[in-house]
Chains A and B, each alone.
Chain A
Amino acid sequence: MLYAILCYHDEAVTGAWSKDEDDAVMARLAVVHGRLAVQGRLGPVARLLPTTAATTLRKDDPPIVLDGPFAETKEQLLGFYVVQAVSLDDALSIARELGEANPGGAYEIRPIGTFHGNTVTP
């Protein structure tokens, strides 16, 4: 089944990484991504821009537009993966692999109910 792996970390910390550190993390992640892709287990991957770029639409009546992310939290949603895993344990092992390449923060592993395939490109 499909799982979403939601990536949380303090964006002030990831924003304080030097370019070299950032590049090193991305290079290590690319290795894990490559392995998962070869196994046919890697779906869409997204790294989100900082929460300062976020806008929230509160679906009140009438809806209101708010600047900033939905929730002010100590750690922010900074990206997500969609992966194919046979069980929670399997999904956790994928998350552990990703976590070794990119330590710090937390992953929320969330089973996906409905998924529509990717038809958009950046």
Chain B
Amino acid sequence: MSDLAWIEAALTSARPQALGALLRYFRNLDTAEEAFQNACLRALKSWPQNGPPRDAAAWLIMVGRNVAIDDIRKTSRHAPLPEDAAEISDLDDAEDQLAERLDGSHYRDDILRLLFICCHPQLPATQQIALALRIVSGLSVKQIARAFLVSDAAMEQRITRAKSAIAKAEVPFETPGAPERAERLAAVAAMIYLIFNEGYSAGGDSADVRAPLCEEAIRLARLLLKLFPAEPEIMGLAALLLLQHARSAARFDAAGALVLLDEQDRSHWNGAMIAEGLALIDKAMRHRRTGAYQIQAAIAALHARAAEPEDTDWLQIDLLYGSLEILQPSPVVTLNRSVAVSKVRGAQAALDMIAPLAERLSNYFHFFGVQGAYLMQLGRNDDARISFNRAIALAHTSAEAAHIRMHLDRLMEESKSGCRMG
């Protein structure tokens, strides 16, 4: 690996901790980002010559802080400095001291705070995600714009808006107590899940450009788990993302159409990700503190453990969805449960189960796709066709539409051959 690639990986991995500490110090996101940028520029100059520092994050914090303080001094002679701003001249000694202090309690809350300000409740979800990818992950505006399929200018504006909303909002800088920390953790976990879904729900035609969102979400989930190694829900979140992303290479066919779980080539599933996901869900279960991510991960784990589709433990999946319905009641959960029910008790039972959802899911693509599939299984082809047509009208991606069209074609074939026979 070239010097540059190594340094870039080191800067990326140090970013959340360094930026989090600089934010705590300057209490201003723009100043902290600028300080971090300057420190990175110096690292690119200094590290190839002097070798990498023992603690990259501590080095970046120290240098970023000193440069920013210099700048503040230059621009305004009398501006008050942040407290404890004594410039530290001997970097080596200081690095050791600082590293020691950072290894203590601060950095965990620094990183959590950095993530948490991105999911401020005043920000719409799309802004939260964009901001987290820009600030925490350090993706460029161009990269994020590409992943969201919008222009650079539109993304730039979205991020600027989000930042100014945050600048006006109250950002909590004091060390959180246990209940606040748990709340922050839940909000951050939800945001990471959103980032993942942005990438995961992409269609075949845009799956390649959006896959980095899934990888970034997994990286953030692992980071969060490293900070909170004994939180079963964070294990569940990481496991869920890994187990779902493990199937990504098998989810679309060559033409970009969606391939359902039953029909996927399981040899294309990523074994290392599945192993890691299964290990994490095993660990989480030992805590006996259930939660929505753990249940969803457990469902994904049952799919991952089945070597062939017919080995799937649908009865267990039905039970797990039952627990999820109690914990997090939603028509979409019930719709998903109905798939397990159709395998265990047949299409009619599944159809009965989703009938009460019709009104609430009247604009939901998957409702009509699933309903059409059950009707088709029951031989009610005309009703199935109506459902599939509604699904196509509601499809968000061309892959979704292509998948439904395949069903319609199959119905058409059946009715043609039926006519001929008749």
Contacts and interface: CB of A to CB of B under 8 A. Distances in A.
B226 interface: yes
A104 B286 CA distance: 35
B20 to A, nearest CB: 14
Interface string B272-304: 100110011001001000000000000000000
A52 B1 contact: no
Contacts of B230: 66-68
Contact of B5 (A19, A21, A51, A53): A21
B275 A49 contact: yes
Interface residues of A, number: 24
B317 interface: no
A15 B283 contact: no
B55 A74 contact: yes
Given A52-B222, A52-B225, A103 B9 contact: no
B9 A52 contact: no
A16 B8 CA distance: 9
A109 to B, nearest CB: 21
B12 A16 contact: yes
A103 B222 contact: no
Contacts of B276: 49-50, 53
A112 interface: no
Contact of A52 (B14, B215, B280): B280
B117 to A, nearest CB: 21
A65 B6 CA distance: 36
B6 A68 contact: no
A12 interface: yes
A24 interface: yes
Contacts of B9: 13-14, 16-17, 21
A8 to B, nearest CB: 13
B146 interface: no
A15 B9 CA distance: 8
A25 interface: yes
A21 B8 CA distance: 11
Contacts of A74: 54-55
A68 B229 contact: yes
Nearest to A17: B9
Interface string B37-78: 000000000000000001100000000000000000000000
Given A67-B283, A74-B55, A103-B1, A52 B13 contact: no
B229 A52 contact: yes
Contacts of B222: 15, 50, 52
A83 B275 CA distance: 26
Interface in B133-177: none
B129 to A, nearest CB: 20
A66 B230 CA distance: 8
Contacts of A65: 286
Contacts of B6: 13, 103-104
B94 interface: no
Interface string B249-290: 000000000000000000000001001100110010010000
B219 interface: yes
Nearest to A69: B229
Contacts of A103: 1, 6
Contacts of B279: 49, 53
Nearest to A53: B279
B10 interface: yes
Contact of A13 (B10, B223, B225, B226): B10
B237 to A, nearest CB: 11
Which of B6, B215, B223, B226 has the largest number of chain A CB atoms within 10 A? B226
A16 B215 CA distance: 10
A67 B232 CA distance: 10
Nearest to A72: B103
Nearest to A55: B283
B1 A13 contact: no
Contacts of B286: 65
Contacts of A49: 272, 275-276, 279
B226 A52 contact: yes
Interface string B7-25: 0111011100000000000
Interface of B: 1, 5-6, 8-10, 12-14, 54-55, 215, 219, 222-223, 225-226, 229-230, 235, 238, 272, 275-276, 279-280, 283, 286
Given A12-B223, A53-B283, A67-B283, 13 more contacts: A10-B10, A13-B6, A16-B9, A19-B215, A21-B1, A49-B275, A49-B276, A52-B222, A52-B229, A67-B230, A68-B229, A74-B54, A74-B55
Top 8 nearest A-B pairs (CB, nearest first) are A12-B13, A68-B229, A16-B12, A53-B279, A16-B9, A16-B13, A67-B230, A52-B225
